[in-house]
Amino acid sequence: MKKIISLAGVFLTSGIIYAQIGINTNNPQASFHIDAAKDNPLSGAPSAAQQVNDFVVTSAANVGIGTTSPTDKLDVASGNARIRSINSNVGVGGTDRVVVADANGVLKTIDFTAYSLFHARLAADQSISGAATITTLMFAAPIATSPFYSYNASTGVLTFTQAGNYLVTLQASFAGIPADTQLLLGIRPVPDATYLGRGSHYSATATPTLTSTTRIGELMNYTTLLIIPTAGYQVRFTAAPNQAATVLSTEMGPTGNGNVTNVTVQKI
């Protein structure tokens, strides 16, 4: 008799350990399953519409709301999440990260400032013949970029992969130009059309020709806003002095050497 009771206890204990608990359902789909509307079938998996009001906890400790098959620690099938007192917990600029959702709705964090930035430097000195010739500035492979941009270093064409507003800063240094030369930097669409943005000024004095010890030109820069209408939109960055000139990739002088012609684009 004692042996029979002991065996019954073993089977009962095993059943309790491995049982799935269902509330409002006799057909639980996970270790813990609440069917709030009591609308799940007696057998088989509930439909997507029937799962909308379900709550489950799986054996892997994944929590599902509106789904009986959660794939993450918290998996919400649809709807919004709300934290009522979030305004009392203010973030810290410069160290906190932005939370975004990927294409599958999985939350992730990114450094949005770096993520939205494109920056490239002129690949080498470029000669421009003058007479208002519009020359595409050829930048090297970008040193900072993101999925918002695609740059072709062979053609000088920048492709935007997402519509939106972009802040563009162009900077260039020109050498070997006479006094009263007009310097113009621009942004033009591809295929070519009217400038999307342009900035110019006149060189008050002549700049020296390039030597082995001196490479200092006439520096100019400007910032403008581009409103990109569609994904796939293309632009090129141009220079057009009205006299023959050289656009410098770097400058050299008594205070040191370094990059001088570059472009920065940031999605805002």
Q: What is the pLDDT of residues 132-167, one digit of tens each?
A: 689 999 999 999 999 999 999 999 999 999 999 999
The answer to whether position 211 is within a domain reads yes
In this structure, the number of other CB atoms found within 10 A of the CB of residue 238 comes to 21
Q: How many domains does the chain have?
A: 2
> Does 180 lie in the same domain as 241?
yes
Confidence of residue 119 (pLDDT cuts 50, 70, 90): very high
Residue linked to tokens 């709807």? 79
> Does 120 lie in the same domain as 13?
no
The answer to whether position 94 is within a domain reads no
Residue 111, pLDDT above cutoff 90 = no
pLDDT at 99: 86
The answer to whether position 219 is within a domain reads yes
Residue 267, pLDDT above cutoff 70 = yes
Residue 11, pLDDT above cutoff 70 = no
Which run of H or E residues covers position 89?
Answer: none
pLDDT, tens only, 209-246: 776 666 888 899 999 999 999 999 999 999 999 888 89
Residue 16 vs residues 13, 20, 255: alpha-carbon distances, Å = 5, 9, 79
> Does 145 lie in the same domain as 259?
yes
The answer to whether position 35 is within a domain reads yes
> Does 263 lie in the same domain as 152?
yes
pLDDT, tens only, 26-85: 999 999 999 999 999 999 999 999 999 999 999 999 999 999 999 999 999 998 888 888
pLDDT at 28: 97
The answer to whether position 109 is within a domain reads no
Choose the final residue of a domain: 36, 64, 80: 80
> Does 154 lie in the same domain as 72?
no
> Does 136 lie in the same domain as 235?
yes
CATH number of the domain encompassing residue 194? 2.60.120.40
Give CA–CA dist 173/166, Å, rounded: 23
Higher per-residue pLDDT: 179 or 3? 179
Instruction: Summarize the confidence of residues 257-261 as an average pLDDT.
Output: 93
Give CA–CA dist 119/248, Å, rounded: 17
> Does 121 lie in the same domain as 74?
no
pLDDT, tens only, 161-219: 999 999 999 999 999 888 888 999 999 999 999 999 999 988 888 887 776 666 888 89
Choose the final residue of a domain: 64, 80, 96: 80
Q: What is the pTM of this model?
A: 0.64
In this structure, the number of other CB atoms found within 10 A of the CB of residue 183 comes to 24
Choose the final residue of a domain: 28, 55, 80: 80
Confidence of residue 6 (pLDDT cuts 50, 70, 90): low
> Does 191 lie in the same domain as 127?
yes
Confidence of residue 14 (pLDDT cuts 50, 70, 90): very low
Cα angle, residue 85 at apex, residues 103 and 71 outer, rounded to 5°: 30
pLDDT at 17: 54
| Sign, Cα dihedral of 239, 243, 248, 254 | negative
Contacts of 143 (CB under 8 A, 6+ apart): 119, 120, 121
78 φψ region: left (φ > 0), alpha (ψ -120 to 50), beta (else): beta
Burial environment of residue 24 by CB neighbours within 10 A (0 to 12, 13 to 18, 19 or more): middle
> Does 137 lie in the same domain as 67?
no
> Does 255 lie in the same domain as 146?
yes
The answer to whether position 8 is within a domain reads yes
Q: Where in the sequence is the domain holding 153, given as residue range(s)?
A: 115-267
> Does 165 lie in the same domain as 261?
yes
pLDDT at 54: 98
> Does 229 lie in the same domain as 160?
yes
Give CA–CA dist 63/19, Å, rounded: 18
